[in-house]
Every structure is written in C-alpha cells, then in structure tokens.
Amino acid sequence: MTAANLKIEPPRLGEPYLLTPGPLTTSYAVKEAMLRDWGSWDDDFRAMTREMRQRLLALLGDGSDDFDCVPMQGSGTFSVEAMLASFIPRDGKALVLANGAYGMRSAQTLEYLGRDHIVLNKGDYLPPRGDEVAQILTDDPAITHVVAIHCETSSGILNPVEEISEAVYAAGRKLLIDSMSAFGAIDLKVADIRYEAMVSSANKCIEGVPGFGFIIARKSELEAAKGNSHSLSLDVHAQWAHMNKTGQWRFTPPTHVVAAFLEALRGHDAEGGVAGRGGRYTCNRDVMVDGMRELGFETLLKDRWLSPIIVTFFCPADENFVFDRFYELMKDKGFIIYPGKLTVVDSFRVGCIGQMDEHVMRQVVTAAKETLDEMGVQNAAPPAIALEERAKLAA
C-alpha cells in the first residue's frame, strides 16, 4: 500500500487533530489495541515485546543483525538519557551538535551525568555541517563521541546526519543520534549511515501512544556499556541483558502502550514502511506550507532544511494577531497547533505527522484563513526583524 491509496479515517471519537510532534493523532486500530489487559510476565506479552523489537530492527535494513533494540520505559528524554549515560564511558568526552532545544537538552543531560562535553551551538536556524565537525574533532583529540539530533523538532530543521557521520568516523570517533521525531519516516539505514546507537519513542513517526522509548544500538556497544550507567532504571546494558535472558522488561512495562505500538508498527508496514510513511508526511508538509505561504505566512527555514515532521512559521506582524487567540480559534475548528520554541522571534509550529493526509492539511490551511479573517488580520507577513534575523543568521 502506498501513501496515495492509504485510507486515513477522521478521528472517530470527535477529538481535534493534533498537529503536534507527538503525542499525535493515532488510528482507531491503535487506540482499540489498548482495550484489553496483558500480564507482563505472560508468554503472550513476551511475544509482543519480541515482535516489536524485531520489527523495529527490520527498519534498519541490511546490516541490522549487528544491532539490537532495547525498549525503555518513560518518555523520549528518558531514552536519550539512558543512551548518553550507557554509551559514553565515564572518562569519555562528547561533542553535542545543537541547533535548538533538544540539542541543548542533551548537553544539559551530560551536565547532570557529569560527562565531559562541549557544545557546537548553531542557534535556531542553521544545521551543524560535516566540515565544522571535522575541524572540532581535529582540534580536540579528547572527544570520543558526537551527539547529533536528526530532526531538531524545536524548529523542524532536518540535520545532515550523513555528512556528520562521515566526519565523525573519518576522525575515528563514535556517533550517537537522537532520531526521536524522525525515525520511521526518514531512513536511518545502517548500510547508508554509520552510528553506534540511536533513540526514538513510541509516540512519534510510528504513530503509537506515549509511554516508552527505544534505543537501537550496535551489539558490540551494548556489550561494552556494562557498568557505564549512573542509573539503575536507565541502564541500557542491564535492560538489554535482562530482556535477552528472560524476554521480559526489568520493571513494570507499559503493557497497553506496547500493544498499541505493535498495532502501529503493523500499520507502518502496511503503508510501505519508512518510504510510505515519509512520503505521506512530505506530501502533508508540501500542501500545508504552500497553502500557508499563499496566506502570507513565512517559514523560519529555507526549503532545503524543512523537515517533513514539523514546520515553524513566524507569527504575523499585524497587530491584530495574538497567538493564544489564533490557537483557540484553530482548536474550535478541530486543529490543535503548537507554540513556537525559538529564542529570538515569535513563532508557532504545525506538525505534519500522525494520522493525517493532504486532505486534512488543506482543511488546516482553510481553517487558518478563516481564523485570520475572524481576527481581522489583513496580512500574515512576519515583522521585518524576523526576516532580517533569518537572513543574517542564515547568510
């Protein structure tokens, strides 16, 4: 099945569409999968955990035999922390590539963990590039690991992880990727891009509900991670070893969330896997961005860096535009959008992921037009300072 003939049902329970980067709008089948209880020690649930891990590994393509998948209770941040603490040895040093809130959160996590690190901070607009990474690694031989954010969800920028990976391994260092909001919609095939470990979570592009994340890591790194973690519950090596020995999670698993996620993985497969899912999201983005630009809105990013995950728009300069009112009026029309997370100018975000297709995105644009009219906003163009800032920083 391709994105073109996949049937997306409107939410049956009458709830608004979530144009947010997760939790997101899920299918009815995913919700329905949570309508029964599972014994966490029972063979049926162990089989579900096993199938889930196998399906996730299969998304890595050829070469996935060298990797294993370790689900981890908690939200995505718990899995990022687990990855950083487990794979960066206590005497290691990390280079964090930051261009938004999630890169900065990884740096903050390393601070908490007491792991030596430096940050390449590119601000809100720009991706870290391979040649910059290569230079930093040449200048600082103590760096053992580089931490990259695949899609920096705070702006929606899609970072060039392939060229970053090339620079990292050319310098003989190791790459860890936070692919939270990209995995499942954007390829991270191990035959194409080298890395030691990556993380994502249940409520992003696979379209499950929140409750756990997962770390996919090279088996040799999983072996070597023994004893690195500061934390009992977030120790990836311990979770992995226990799961492989017993088939069980170490501590109470989010059983219903796993059941929903398995259903979501089947839906992902039926849509054509990463290519099918990514194709639908790309179409969602293109339809929505074209329509919003026709209304006068401007995107934060140039087309080259726009991800098919979430798009940041500048708030209009028109004095009648008030974000909170725009939000409420959009919600009244059935669409929940997302506030911006930029440091310099006012912005908001519209997500392209979840059970939505281009028809829904056209309705979003119509709702935005009607909302601007209701607010008396004549022109959705951003203030000159936003465009000057963008031109200056992106130069």
Shortest Å, Cβ 80 to ligand PLP: 6
Instruction: Indicate whether 159 belongs to the interface with ligand PLP (CB under 6 A).
Output: no
Nearer to ligand PLP, 18 or 380 (CB): 18
| Residue 43: partners with Cβ closer than 8 Å, 6 or more residues away | none
For strands 335-336 and 116-121, give the pairing.
unpaired
- CA-CA distance, 198 to 204, in Å (whole number)? 14
Question: Are 349 and 273 in contact, with CB atoms under 8 Å apart?
Answer: no
Shortest Å, Cβ 321 to ligand PLP: 26
Which of 87, 102, 183, 249 contacts ligand PLP by CB under 6 A?
Answer: 102
Shortest Å, Cβ 22 to ligand PLP: 6
Instruction: Indicate whether 130 belongs to the interface with ligand PLP (CB under 6 A).
Output: no
Which of 49, 109, 201, 282 contacts ligand PLP by CB under 6 A?
Answer: 201
Q: Per CB under 6 A, which region of 30-38, 76-84, 117-125, 365-373 contacts ligand PLP?
A: 76-84
Nearer to ligand PLP, 198 or 372 (CB): 198
Pick from 238, 265, 355, 261: which is nearest to 38 by CA?
Answer: 261
Instruction: Indicate whether 80 belongs to the interface with ligand PLP (CB under 6 A).
Output: yes
Instruction: Indicate whether 168 belongs to the interface with ligand PLP (CB under 6 A).
Output: no
Tell me if residue 273 falls in helix, strand or coil.
helix
Shortest Å, Cβ 107 to ligand PLP: 12
Instruction: Indicate whether 308 belongs to the interface with ligand PLP (CB under 6 A).
Output: no
| Residue 199: partners with Cβ closer than 8 Å, 6 or more residues away | 76, 79, 80, 82, 83, 177, 178, 179, 180, 213, 214, 215, 216
- CA-CA distance, 21 to 278, in Å (whole number)? 14
Residue type, 256: H
Nearer to ligand PLP, 64 or 154 (CB): 154
Nearer to ligand PLP, 76 or 278 (CB): 76
For strands 347-351 and 338-339, give the pairing.
antiparallel
Alpha-helix residue ranges (DSSP H) falling in the chain: 28-32, 43-58, 76-87, 101-113, 130-139, 161-170, 219-224, 236-246, 255-270, 273-294, 323-332, 358-375, 384-394
Instruction: Indicate whether 75 belongs to the interface with ligand PLP (CB under 6 A).
Output: yes
Nearer to ligand PLP, 103 or 316 (CB): 103
Instruction: Indicate whether 206 belongs to the interface with ligand PLP (CB under 6 A).
Output: no
Helix (H) or strand (E) holding 217: strand 212-218
Instruction: Indicate whether 254 belongs to the interface with ligand PLP (CB under 6 A).
Output: no
Shortest Å, Cβ 100 to ligand PLP: 8
| Count of residues touching ligand PLP (by CB under 6 A) | 12
Beta-carbon-side half-sphere exposure of residue 232 (alpha carbons within 13 Å) = 2
Write out the residues near ligand PLP by the rule CB under 6 A. 21, 75-77, 80, 102, 149, 153, 178, 180-181, 201
